[in-house]
Amino acid sequence: MTLRILPVTGIGEVGAGDDLAALVHGAAPDLAAGDVVVVTSKIVSKAEGRLVAVPAAGPDRDRARAAAVRAESTDVVAVRGGTRIVRTRHGFVLNGAGIDASNVPPGRLALLPRDPDASARALRAALRDRYARRVAVIVSDTAGRAWRIGQTDLALGCAGLPPLRDHRGETDPYGNPLTVTQIAVADELAAAAELVKGKCAGVPVAVVRGYPLTGDEPDGPGVAALLRARSEDMFAEGVAEAYARGHRDGRAGRPESPGG
Amino acid sequence: MTLRILPVTGIGEVGAGDDLAALVHGAAPDLAAGDVVVVTSKIVSKAEGRLVAVPAAGPDRDRARAAAVRAESTDVVAVRGGTRIVRTRHGFVLNGAGIDASNVPPGRLALLPRDPDASARALRAALRDRYARRVAVIVSDTAGRAWRIGQTDLALGCAGLPPLRDHRGETDPYGNPLTVTQIAVADELAAAAELVKGKCAGVPVAVVRGYPLTGDEPDGPGVAALLRARSEDMFAEGVAEAYARGHRDGRAGRPESPGG
């Protein structure tokens, strides 16, 4: 298996109501069956009209942005300085709820798509109508990580590919059970696509060709299958936040309640 | 820029003292200048003799494994059930210190390479002597993430490429400063390579071709540049651990000391 990762150039500016399938088809008329079309969430947000107006600068802008982050979040995970990591309504853990002022007009903020798995399914269906072939779709975004400096792209939504490659029950050539059980291939495909998309080059779409898909796969569970439930999440809260909560409870003589 | 990701097949079993550059050269005689050779850390560990003998099964094995994890760690980050996430001597945050029993003979455990950046530099130099062209090298491993189900490959070591692509100071087409500042391309390249290496297929090496490198780049800072200092890490400890520490301090009337 050899993979090719192809940038899709010439998409141009995307506005509310634009037909992304038509834009992709215009820029990349030769998709192959089973190609994975990786689309930066920003242009999905724009096409879906997910820009909100905010003051162009100053404290009013900061307040409007903070209000937007609150509205898009269910939980605050960790705050330090200008970093405010939250759990979004979708269940993503992202700085500032993934709300972004880059590559949008001044005085606007881009919210994430309301349901990126649904966006991926809709775009996949629309691409099926444009092309004689069926492809898979990933909606990607750039995110920081715990423990490591630098951001990488990951999948916010996907359709037409299993987001996890499951090795449970397999053994290695020595007969040992595999320690690694599930590979988050949707995230790896998004990361691979970022390498050709870059950030400034006006390349919001890339195609991964050669990944073992026929195109006839069901839409599948989407990136929802990659989201860890808060109760299973050992890092659902930053150290400072969890420590402070414990300190309050201990000082007040309350019993331990690590889950909050 | 189009990337190609090529599996390198036919490496075969690797043993202590084996010459990885010779094995890669035998299996992939046609590397191009600026190719990125991504090598699974497991075969680096094997070549460097980083297997340790443990009982093949039973509680003695579990004790020996736990002792190896302790010896390779500086801090316990979070423990839940069979999951023991630690900070390794290198500064990686990994379940079980990245010590792995898969793809090694029964009665052995593979420790991570002692210094994966040094391993990458050494392999790069050895490959330069084998080929008429200069390449970059990444030593990769598979790791879990906070917040998301499934594992992805990331870089433990690298030489010959900048591990971060820096966007600080750049602006988008609207003149907004870019929110995204640094992309951890070494990790994205490792993730991309995993897509063709898989876990069971006996493909411990992949080549990424087309990434904008000439081959003449300096070894660079390596993956050390991706490691967040513990004091900067908002997730240096799991929620349960941080909460319990806070509760003890609060109950004892000690002042808050979130950093431990």
Asked if B235 and A240 come within 8 Å (Cβ–Cβ), the reply is: no
The whole-angstrom separation of Cα B47 and Cα B20 is 7
Helix, strand, or coil here: B176? coil
pLDDT of residue B30: 93
- Which chain A residues are within 8 Å of B97, Cβ to Cβ? none
Range of the domain at A95: 51-112
> How far B180 CA lies from chain A's nearest CA (Å)?
8
Which one of B112, B130, B146 terminates a domain?
B112
B137 and B10 housed in the same domain: yes
Q: Are A185 and A164 in contact (CB under 8 A)?
A: yes
Among candidate residues A223, A224, A220, the one with its CA nearest the CA of residue A161: A220
What are A7-52's pLDDT values in tens digits?
999 998 899 999 999 999 999 999 999 999 999 999 999 999 999 9
Task: Measure CB to CB from residue A5 to each of B2, B92, B152 and give the nearest one.
Answer: B2
Q: Check pLDDT > 70 for residue B201.
A: no
Does the pLDDT of residue B3 top 90, yes or no?
yes
Number of other residues whose CB lies within 10 A of the CB of residue A232: 10
Min Cα distance A114 → chain B (Å) is 19
In a domain, B235, yes or no: yes
Torsion sign (Cα): A78, A83, A84, A90:
negative
User: Is residue A171 situated within a structural domain?
Assistant: no
Please compute the mean of the pLDDT values over residues B200-206 and round it to a whole number: 84
Distance of alpha carbon A169 from alpha carbon A129, whole angstroms: 39
Q: Is position B244 within any domain?
A: yes
- Do residues A182 and A13 touch, judged by C-beta distance below 8 A? no
b/e per residue, B19-31, with b = 16+ CB within 10 A?
ebbebbbebbeeb
Q: Taking CB atoms and an 8 Å limit, are B176 and A246 in contact across chains? A: no
Backbone angles phi and psi of B245, in degrees to 5: -65, -45
Predicted local confidence at residue B56, as pLDDT: 86
In this complex, do B85 and A176 lie within 8 Å of one another by their Cβ atoms? Answer: no
User: Which of A148, A185, A256 is opposite residue B244, by nearest beta carbon?
Assistant: A256
Residue A40 near residue A140, CB atoms below 8 Å? yes
List, for residues A172-209, the tens digit of each pLDDT value: 878 887 766 899 999 999 999 999 997 666 799 999 99
- Interface mutation target, options A102, A104, A111, A164, chain B, most CBs of B under 10 Å: A102
CB atoms within 10 A of CB A214: 11
pLDDT for A199: 63
Q: Is residue B240 part of a domain?
A: yes
Q: Look at residue B2 in the predicted model and tell me its pLDDT.
A: 94
CB contact under 8 A, A184 and B225: no
CATH number of the domain that B106 lies in?
A: 3.90.1660.10
pLDDT tens figures, A75-129: 999 999 889 999 999 999 999 999 998 889 889 999 999 999 999 999 999 999 9
Interface touch B234/A163, C-beta < 8 Å: no
In this structure, is residue B195 part of a structural domain?
yes
Of A3, A174, A228, the CB nearest to B149: A228
Residue A174 confidence (pLDDT):
81
Residue A169 lies in a domain: no
Closest-CA residue in chain A for B257? A243
pLDDT reported for residue A56: 86
**Would residue A180 count as lying in a domain?**
no
Total domains, chain A: 2
Say which of B105, B148, B167 has its CB closest to residue A184. Answer: B148
Whole-angstrom distance, CA of residue B3 vs CA of residue A192 = 9
pLDDT tens track for B58-114: 999 999 999 999 999 999 999 998 899 999 999 999 999 999 988 898 899 999 999
Residue A154 placed within a domain: yes
